[in-house]
Amino acid sequence: MLKITNLHASVGEKEILKGISLTVNAGEVHAIMGPNGSGKSTLAQVIAGHPGYEVTSGSIEYDGQDLLELEAEERAQAGVFLAFQYPIEIPGVTNAYFLRAAYNEIRKAHNQPELDPIEFLDVMEEKLTVVEMDASMMQRSVNAGFSGGEKKRNEILQMAVLEPKLAVLDETDSGLDIDALRIVAEGVNKLKRPDNATIVVTHYQRLLNYIVPDHVHVLAGGRIIKSGGKELALELEAKGYDWLLEPVTA
Amino acid sequence: MTPTATYSDQFAALAAPAGAPAWLPALRQQAFERFTTLGFPTTRNEDWHFTSVAPIAERPFKAIKPAATTLTASDLAPWILDPSWHRLVFVNGRFEPGLSQFSELPADVEVATLSDALRESPEWLSAHLGKLAAFDAAAFTALNTAFMQDGVMIHVPKGETVELPLQILCLADAQAQGAAFHPRLLVVAEAQSQISLIETFAAIGGAEYLVNAVAEVTVADGARVDHYKVQQESTDAYHVSAVQVTQGRDSIYHSFSFAAGAALSRANIYTKLLGTGSEARLNGLYVLDGTQHADHQTFVEHIAEACASRELYKGILDGSSHGVFNGKVYVDPEAQKTDGKQTNKALLLSEQARVDTKPQLEIFADDVKCTHGATVGRLDELPLFYLKSRGIGAETAKALLTYAFAAEVLETIENDPLRLALERTVFERFTHASFE
Ligand SMILES: Nc1ncnc2c1ncn2[C@@H]1O[C@H](COP(=O)(O)OP(=O)(O)O)[C@@H](O)[C@H]1O
Ligand SMILES: [Mg+2]
């Protein structure tokens, strides 16, 4: 589904991603872990099409297409979704309007009829229960004045509504208490299907107790320095990252 | 012919309305002489630095005697915010009783047109008319005072609350071509009284005319006046207005100015906080395109102690339009514990659009909290990316964020039908989608 090959990306003169290769197949959950500043969010934003990062070399193939050729909105319409580490506040646009606009744009892109506000209400009602969110949140401005936990849940709500094929969750767990963490994780698990895939970016093992990854990768200094199965996450939890960062002699 | 000469001939021909009190011609005469002396302001005048009124001075706008309108109530529907409200309708400056309704006002609340008030309560009028709107340094106010034809006089007695808002609708149509209108509004809200006013200026068709409006508003101790203005004149028209308010102890005056019409508009909104603990909120939004020019000037005079003033002005500018915001705040040496906040933000949608903004703070008391901030900029990249990352196309995302920019100030309108109407207007203008 996703094939990243030797990806280099920079901001201005500063190279942040220094040759990343990663393959994600349908039905899989990948976890990307690593210390702060290692480039995890950059990778996530590059996948979503953030215009502030320049891809200097390498490629990303998604569903047989060259992802880097697509605008951010075209990627979303093709099923790519990023749950932001720091969701953006948009005072003045209600969550309800925002979600329906996004939902309809994606339907339009697939030649499906748009839903009017009443029809959309039914969709919403079901999705709100997935993330255990109160309907009153829909009338509030997008993320404006939301608590950290509310923002993260709102990201998962968007994901539930948009039903992406490839979801990238960027530290959706950080700042969440155990209850919120459980809700978010259950939301993700409920949305899991054999034909979609999830990349979970985190630097705690905690979330991976709830969302069990098929593969775990360690990102440091803009490179994937180790990959393994779910046991790797436990090992990282016990030993930290330092042992990986030491120069390895064969 | 000099610009003021156009008006000399007209002034000579001006007949006093039948039954008008003797003081009226004297007031007009004095005002006209002042106007002749002052002439139209030029950009050398500090208060008019960014706004040239040459297009107004160069055009020989004339008073007209319009025929009774053939418009019906359904023609007014686009501007009637709620049919149950009290309303006075003027078409081409002429009062239209058949389109107005204000008989359901509380019995002791007096609302009359200027011509009726001149006949029915000349003493009361002479005590209030022209008392706040000084014209010694204000040419347009002098011109209005010399030529004021009709308008609305409102007297809310002590302790009375007018429950339903009162809307004053001034419409111009093809008959208005080349005409000058000088509408006048006088509001006296006695102690502990309350009233909410909406002035709407709009046009049917694209005539070129001048509206030169003056309003005087007294908000006595403990009274509250909400004063909204919606300016949607023809984009070929000129609109100049001056509002002068005085506020007593613990009074509240909330003003909102929405400006989307006129080739050139200027709105002065001045309030004097004379009584301790009074509060003024002056907010506004202007939305411009093409070669439109809109200038707002606010002036808050903190004279008494412990008064609060809040100002939030926003502008959205496209095309090669030009916006001006000049917020003046004066804090008297006696006005300790003043709490003043002024913010103005402009969003530029094109390379050619321009904004000039000038906060002017003169603070002579030491125990005060006064802040001001101004920003002029374009849409932020991050919210745009966030919307796009959800599948929303670039154009729609920009439109939504432009609307959101306006919504922050429209939200402060406490009158729901008006707020919704303006939200709808702005939303549909930018998104070209229908507003629900
Ligand atoms: N827009 C940016 N401008 C400048 N430096 C950036 C920008 N985004 C990320 N960086 C830098 O790139 C590195 C990786 O950041 P990030 O991808 O956010 O790491 P992580 O998510 O792993 O904590 C950091 O050193 C960070 O300061
Ligand atoms: Mg990060």
pLDDT in tens, B148-161: 988 999 999 999 99
Place of tokens 């990102």: A219
Residue B296: inside a domain: no
Does A11 sit in the ligand 1 pocket, CB within 6 Å? yes
* Atom nearest to A43 CA in ligand 1: 17
* Atom nearest to A16 CA in ligand 1: 12
Asked if the model's pLDDT at residue A246 lies above 70, the reply is: no
CATH number assigned to the domain comprising residue A109? 3.40.50.300
Residue B130: inside a domain: yes
Q: Average pLDDT in the B259-266 region?
A: 98
User: What ipTM did this prediction achieve?
Assistant: 0.95
The letter for the amino acid at B81 is L
Q: Average pLDDT in the B58-79 region?
A: 92
A231-245, B189-203, B286-300, range with the lowest pLDDT:
A231-245
Does A13 sit in the ligand 1 pocket, CB within 6 Å? no
Residue B102 and residue B111: Cα distance in Å, rounded?
8
The letter for the amino acid at A118 is I
Q: Average pLDDT in the B358-381 region?
A: 94
Residue B196: inside a domain: yes
Distance from the alpha carbon of residue A170 to the mean position of ligand 2, in angstroms: 7
Does A41 sit in the ligand 1 pocket, CB within 6 Å? yes
Boundary residue ending a domain (B255, B275, B295): B275
Interface A:B, Cβ pairs < 8 A: 82
CB burial of B99-114 (b: ≥16 within 10 Å; e: otherwise) equals bbbbeebeeebbbbbb
pLDDT confidence of B303, banded at 50, 70, 90? very high
Testing ligand 1's pocket by substitution, the residue of A7, A8, A10, A11 carrying the most ligand atoms inside 8 A of its CB is: A11
Distance from the alpha carbon of residue A37 to the mean position of ligand 1, in angstroms: 6
Asked if the model's pLDDT at residue A23 lies above 90, the reply is: yes
Does A90 sit in the ligand 1 pocket, CB within 6 Å? no
Residue B392 and residue B288: Cα distance in Å, rounded?
25
DSSP conformation letters of A44-60: HHHHHT-TTSEEEEEEE
Percentage of chain B surpassing pLDDT 90?
91
pLDDT confidence of B91, banded at 50, 70, 90? very high
Same domain, B235 and B88: yes
Q: Which residue of B has its CA nearest to A47?
A: B389
H helices within A115-230, ranges in order?
117-130, 148-162, 178-191
Average pLDDT value over all residues in chain B: 95
Does A37 sit in the ligand 1 pocket, CB within 6 Å? yes
**How far lies B7's CA from each of B2, B61, B143, B146, in Å?**
9, 8, 9, 10
Q: What region does B329 belong to: left with phi over 0, alpha with psi -120 to 50, or beta?
A: beta
Q: Which residue of A has its CA nearest to B385?
A: A50
Place of tokens 């009233």: B195
Q: Which residue of A has its CA nearest to B388?
A: A73
- H or E segment to which residue A42 belongs: helix A40-48
- The ligand minimizing its distance to the Cα of A174 is 2
Residues A178-209 have pLDDT tens digits of: 888 888 888 888 888 899 999 999 878 888 88
Domain count along chain A: 1
Angle at A223 (CA atoms; ends A189, A19), nearest 5 degrees: 110
pLDDT at A207: 87
Domain count along chain B: 2
Asked if the model's pLDDT at residue A123 lies above 50, the reply is: yes
Residues B404-424 have pLDDT tens digits of: 999 999 999 999 999 999 999
Same domain, B99 and B213: yes
Asked if the model's pLDDT at residue B269 lies above 70, the reply is: yes
**In chain B, which residues have their Cβ closer than 8 Å to the Cβ of A49?**
385, 388-389
Enclosing domain of residue A185: 2-249
pLDDT confidence of B14, banded at 50, 70, 90? confident
Testing ligand 1's pocket by substitution, the residue of A16, A45, A46, A169 carrying the most ligand atoms inside 8 A of its CB is: A16
Residues A211-228 have pLDDT tens digits of: 999 999 999 999 999 999
Which residue among A90, A105, A117 sits closest to B391, beta carbon to beta carbon?
A: A105
A206-210, A226-230, B239-243, B337-341, range with the lowest pLDDT:
A206-210
Residue B324: inside a domain: no
CA neighbor of A166 nearest in space, from A7, A59, A49: A49
Residue B294: inside a domain: no
Distance from the alpha carbon of residue A16 to the mean position of ligand 1, in angstroms: 7
pLDDT at B79: 96
Enclosing domain of residue B383: 379-436
Question: Would you say B179 and B147 are in contact if contact means Cβ atoms under 8 Å apart?
Answer: no
- H or E segment to which residue B310 belongs: strand B308-317
Residues B23-44 have pLDDT tens digits of: 999 999 999 999 999 999 999 9
Which residue among B391, B408, B436 sits closest to A102, beta carbon to beta carbon?
A: B391
Does A168 sit in the ligand 1 pocket, CB within 6 Å? no
Distance from the alpha carbon of residue B390 to the mean position of ligand 2, in angstroms: 19
Question: Would you say B361 and B329 are in contact if contact means Cβ atoms under 8 Å apart?
Answer: yes
What are A9's strand-pairing partners?
Answer: A17, A55
Residues A105-116 have pLDDT tens digits of: 999 999 999 999
Q: How far is B427 from chain A (nearest CA, A)?
A: 11
| A199: phi then psi, degrees, rounded to nearest 5 | -115, 120
DSSP state of B62: B
With CB atoms and an 8 Å threshold, state whether B390 touches A76: yes
Asked if the model's pLDDT at residue A9 lies above 50, the reply is: yes
Same domain, B268 and B391: no
Asked if the model's pLDDT at residue A249 lies above 60, the reply is: no
- The ligand minimizing its distance to the Cα of A34 is 1
Question: Would you say A21 and A186 are in contact if contact means Cβ atoms under 8 Å apart?
Answer: no
pLDDT at A247: 59
pLDDT at B329: 97
- H or E segment to which residue B170 belongs: strand B166-172
Between residues B63 and A48, the one the model is more confident about: A48
- H or E segment to which residue A228 belongs: strand A223-228
Average pLDDT value over all residues in chain A: 92
Angle at A104 (CA atoms; ends A102, A106), nearest 5 degrees: 70
- Report the C-alpha dihedral over residues A14, A19, A25, A31, rounded to 10 degrees: -60
Asked if the model's pLDDT at residue A250 lies above 50, the reply is: no
- The ligand minimizing its distance to the Cα of A42 is 1
Percentage of chain A surpassing pLDDT 90?
70
pLDDT at A179: 83
Q: How far is B191 from chain A (nearest CA, A)?
A: 37
Residue B9: inside a domain: yes
What are B8's strand-pairing partners?
Answer: none
